[in-house]
Structure 1
Amino acid sequence: MKNKIAVVLPLTENYSLKYSGAVSLFIKEYTKISKYEYRIYGNTDKKDIIDKNYINVDIGNSKLTSSNVKYSELLVDEISKFNPDIIEIHNRPQIAKILKEKTKKKIILHIANDPLSLRGSSLSSDREYLLENIDKIIFVSSYIKDQFFKNINFKNTDKTQIVYHGINKENKFPKKNKNIIFVGKLNTSKGYDIFGKASIQILEKFKDWSVEVVGDEPREKINFTHKRFKKLGWLNYQDTIKRIKKSAICVIPSRWEEPLGRVAIESGAAGCATIISNKGGLPETLKHKLILNTLSVKSLHDAISKIIKNKKLRDNLQVNAFKNHIHDLRNKSKELDIIRDKLINKKININFNNPIKIIHIADTHIRHNGRLYYSTSKKINNGFLMNGYNVLTISDRDILSTSKNIYDFEGKKKLSSIVLSSVNNFKPDLIMLGHADNLPVDPLAKIRKNFSDIKISQWFLDPLIKTGPDYVKNKNRILSKKEVIDATFLTTSPEKVSFLNSNCFFIPNPADPSIDTNCFYEKTKTFDIFIAISHGQHRGTLKNNHSDPREKFINNIVSKSNDISFKIFGMNNSQPIWGDEFFEKLSKCRLAINISRGEPIKYYSSDRITSTMANGVATICDKKYSFQDFFKNNELITYENDKDLLNKINFYKKNETKLTIIGKKGREKYFKLFNNKLVTNYMVKKSLGIKLNKLIWMK
């Protein structure tokens, strides 16, 4: 027996053959191929209803209550007859709230318009309520998701996800006429006035081209006259698609922030050379297009003229858009079904057991409220657990942040007391320190004297480059407890650090299968290059009047990349990103550039390389890091200098299939060599003097 889904349309949405909007069209298409059983509820006076699964909810004349409230009340009764497993509401947060409270069913809210303009989500308090109470919120684009999270502290939760609207692509590339098409409301918000003026100029210039306009707008009259400028009015969906397929060029010059832009998706799937404005979610609609960063009659005229004159460009835009259709309907329907599956059947399994006992003293970032949930300290802690070790974790910096007082100005006395008491009660085999700089050496020396069998080791992740940042400070940090340390593990090759002794060992930044869960090589991408830096993860924001040497390098690369779209965070007044927002932004990019502070030194990298490679994003880094010792060129891309980097960026822009392979193989190799279970097992056994089977990076 199939699980059942009730789908609720907005009051203003017509589920009809001729007057369907983007929401109705998508619902009509995905419900046909989804594995679930559906009932669709709406309110329309149209008679050409799309299919028999539709139930019309007539609200009549509602003068005493709002239309949405009346609609919601009637929906409760109608939906109860169907008794669905999930109720999905489109574009009406207010209705979602009412139905959640009245039905107690699992609710999915689809948001395909700016949530700041919708009743029930315009205020940050409204959106916080939705996050707390609605089971899943699905956004039609990253732009809409960003709008939703404005002025909200929790930028991403597992309750939210982006699922783009998808359409089916024809199997065969359609034959093209010398025609330019505009589809949509004929108003200034859609840029119709700009399109009309530019088109008239084009028709005067190119005598063998014509223009077709599909749509109307009773509230705003904008008229253009030319014998080859054909205004067709509002057509049904199938007729509109036929017109798009025959057209060589499709233009979407919106002034307003489009939530996504279905016409642009349809244009790409139909093999049109597509021109869009850089508004809202439009850049997310297709991979190959021309973007108008400045929207004007001149810029649009020049773009159309360029495509008409340059047949090779036109052919490339058309064929590449057709071949690389990124919003396939079947894939989107599967994404939605997976979301429903997880809501209906949710399972969690945990199991660990082993006699080795470890006290792990490292920052677990409790005070950061999950912003750094993917930190290396957590991955190391998880690795201990995955090996079955019995782990007691002491978050030193969190303790310090709550323990300061006039008698213990820095909180170190309290921290020392907790460590000593924990050792006395827990009696570990190993104490592992991770950047525990604020723990005095005295309690560790006392442990040494009283528990001779306990080993004490430390891990260190920061750069140790003589010409690099904080060299003296980092050197002092790593040596501050040398008299009580049995082994040191660092993410730089020890052979390149002159002041270290023989009990120092290289460890890679570990990948965690419970954190680095993503296979982003499988995802459709809307941007080319991802770069993320910061002024320190504990700080979390940019410092005033602070310059990072990496910014010059990055700006130079950007300035020399004409046809490359970048997502850059942590510089140029773009704040660093953290938490799930980091992965959400990363997932949209085809290639990540890994740039660490300071001059390259053997094997050193910030832990950001794990976030990219272990989550399936093709990654490129400087050859001088020597990661080619571990990865082949179909697993990790390396460059020798700026010119080589630019050449490779441009090469892989044209060879996305290779990036997909590199992302996949790189992730597989990263987990094979550098997973946190292997890394922490190595750390423990090296510390305790237990033999182990070695991998290529192990000493």
Structure 2
Amino acid sequence: MRILHIDHHQYRKYGHLRVSWALKLYSGLIRAGHNVLAFSDRDVAKFEAPLGIRDLGRKRTNRRLLQTVAAFQPELIIFGHCDLIDNDTFLEIRRRHPYTILAGCNNDPLFVPRNAANIAERCLVADAMFVSTGPKELARFTGNRAKLWHMPNPVDPCIETADASALASDNQELHTDLLFCSKSDNHTSRGHLVTELQGKLPSNFRFHTPGMFGQPTLWGRDYDRKLATSKMGLNLNRQEGYQWYSSARIAQMAGNGLLIFTHSAAAFDEYIPKETLVYFDDEESLIRLTQEYHHDDAKRCYWAHKCREFFHREINNTLYAQYIVEASTGTKFSHNYVWIK
């Protein structure tokens, strides 16, 4: 199938890339056997704009998208967080190419009002809308054109290549006991929990928090190396309690074999097997669990290995991409996707 994939493809990062679910989707579509063309709206806008001022390139970017669709003639267009592309442009694509299917993807949380508004707007023009929150939370967006689907955070076997679960705690390569990387403090109070943990964990417990408290944020290969040398990871979302919602860090940590602590309120136990993720309910249980697994390395390795194996087998980006194609086109599912209930 010919697929046009519209998202931020990070051309101007020049190798200093952020781990991106959009890039994982792109490579997954190719691995699934599709003919895929990337259209990076932010980069096109920068290239096309006078003096390289991206906001001045919006109109030209929309025109270039119409030109690209006319030339490539995609059977399916998958678009992600491409805020520079107007709904009117998608409507014009539908008018000119009525047999082209439009599928939107959104990997951001519903508790951010601007993001919820973006999803609602895209549901007016898309045939299918994929959101990284569970189906119970998506009822608010029904009644428009788009059929709503959940999408998980996938691993990519070419990106998540490390396996901390295979390394013993006395190995010098594992120089972080617990890792939490974050740079956002909007719509959240998780910084308070991190501060409490720092004060209550033993002084010799190596709890590293890049991006917080004035520490530099890790990107690119620096982030890859940090994941590869950490025993355990903390999956703190900006807000908890949304079914199946997590930041993309859950796949990054799981795919690299870290033991993951995540809040029970997201109900991941509805489709992720036992003895994989470690669930906590509050600060007290999190402190207890981190120390328990810190002092039981065999148990840590066993759970982390099972989690890594599950994500690589059942939530890899090839299956993820094929699922989006099949759901968008109404094709019978070729796999028993674990997140389908």
TM over 0.5: yes
Q: RMSD of aligned C-alpha atoms?
A: 1.9
Deviations 1:246-283 (A, max 9, x none): xxxxxxxxxxxxxxxxxxxxxxxxxxxxxxxxxxxxxx
Aligned residue number for residue 551 of structure 1 = 191
- What is the CA-CA distance between 1:547 and the residue it aligns to? 9.5
Q: Which amino acid aligns with 1:434?
A: G
- What is the CA-CA distance between 1:367 and the residue it aligns to? 1.8
Question: Aligned to 1:590, what secondary structure does the other structure show?
Answer: strand
Aligned residue number for residue 103 of structure 2 = 457
Question: Aligned to 2:262, what secondary structure does the other structure show?
Answer: strand
Alpha-carbon contact 2:79-2:105 (below 8 Å) kept: yes
Alpha-carbon contact 1:400-1:412 (below 8 Å) kept: yes
Aligned residue number for residue 13 of structure 1 = none
Map 1:320-335 onto structure 2 (within 5 A): none
Give the TM-score normalised by structure 1. Answer: 0.46
Aligned residue number for residue 365 of structure 1 = 10
Within the candidate set 501, 515, 524, 2:159 is matched to: 515
Alpha-carbon contact 1:464-1:497 (below 8 Å) kept: no
Q: Choose 521-530 or 671-680, whichever is displaced more.
A: 521-530
Deviations 1:270-305 (A, max 9, x none): xxxxxxxxxxxxxxxxxxxxxxxxxxxxxxxxxxxx
User: Using the alignment, how far apart are the partners of 1:391 and 1:477 within structure 2?
Assistant: 25
Question: Aligned to 2:215, what secondary structure does the other structure show?
Answer: coil
Aligned residue number for residue 416 of structure 1 = 62
Aligned residue number for residue 602 of structure 1 = 243
Deviations 1:434-484 (A, max 9, x none): 11111012221111112111000111011003xxxx2x2111211223332
Deviations 1:23-80 (A, max 9, x none): xxxxxxxxxxxxxxxxxxxxxxxxxxxxxxxxxxxxxxxxxxxxxxxxxxxxxxxxxx
Aligned residue number for residue 182 of structure 2 = 533
User: Using the alignment, how far apart are the partners of 2:84 and 2:187 within structure 1?
Assistant: 27
Displacement over 3 Å in runs of 4+: 406-409
Map 1:196-215 onto structure 2 (within 5 A): none
- What is the CA-CA distance between 1:588 and the residue it aligns to? 2.1
Within the candidate set 216, 219, 223, 1:582 is matched to: 223
Which of these two proteins has the greater Rg computed from alpha carbons? 1
User: Using the alignment, how far apart are the partners of 2:270 and 2:289 within structure 1?
Assistant: 20
Alpha-carbon contact 2:45-2:54 (below 8 Å) kept: no
User: Using the alignment, how far apart are the partners of 2:34 and 2:187 within structure 1?
Assistant: 43
Aligned residue number for residue 694 of structure 1 = 336
Aligned residue number for residue 645 of structure 1 = 286
User: Using the alignment, how far apart are the partners of 1:409 and 1:613 within structure 2?
Assistant: 37
Aligned residue number for residue 506 of structure 1 = 150
- What is the CA-CA distance between 1:666 and the residue it aligns to? 0.5
User: Using the alignment, how far apart are the partners of 2:23 and 2:272 within structure 1?
Assistant: 25
Deviations 1:217-259 (A, max 9, x none): xxxxxxxxxxxxxxxxxxxxxxxxxxxxxxxxxxxxxxxxxxx
User: Using the alignment, how far apart are the partners of 2:206 and 2:89 within structure 1?
Assistant: 53
* Structure in which a larger fraction of residues adopt helix: 2
Alpha-carbon contact 1:620-1:636 (below 8 Å) kept: yes
Q: Which amino acid aligns with 1:399?
A: V
- What is the CA-CA distance between 1:370 and the residue it aligns to? 2.6
- What is the CA-CA distance between 1:690 and the residue it aligns to? 0.7
Alpha-carbon contact 1:602-1:625 (below 8 Å) kept: yes
Deviations 1:484-515 (A, max 9, x none): 20000011013213421271101100111111
Q: Which amino acid aligns with 1:552?
A: H
Identity across aligned pairs (percent)?
Answer: 26
Aligned residue number for residue 683 of structure 1 = 324
Alpha-carbon contact 1:619-1:636 (below 8 Å) kept: yes
- What is the CA-CA distance between 1:368 and the residue it aligns to? 2.2
Q: 1:587 to 1:409 in 2, by over 3 A?
A: closer
Aligned residue number for residue 631 of structure 1 = 272
Question: Aligned to 2:116, what secondary structure does the other structure show?
Answer: helix
Give the TM-score normalised by structure 2. Answer: 0.92
User: Using the alignment, how far apart are the partners of 1:369 and 1:409 within structure 2?
Assistant: 21
Alpha-carbon contact 2:181-2:217 (below 8 Å) kept: yes
Gaps of 5+ in 2: none
Q: Which amino acid aligns with 1:529?
A: L
Question: Aligned to 1:480, what secondary structure does the other structure show?
Answer: helix
Q: Which amino acid aligns with 1:574?
A: Q
User: Using the alignment, how far apart are the partners of 2:256 and 2:183 within structure 1?
Assistant: 20
- What is the CA-CA distance between 1:633 and the residue it aligns to? 3.6
Q: Which amino acid aligns with 1:474?
A: N
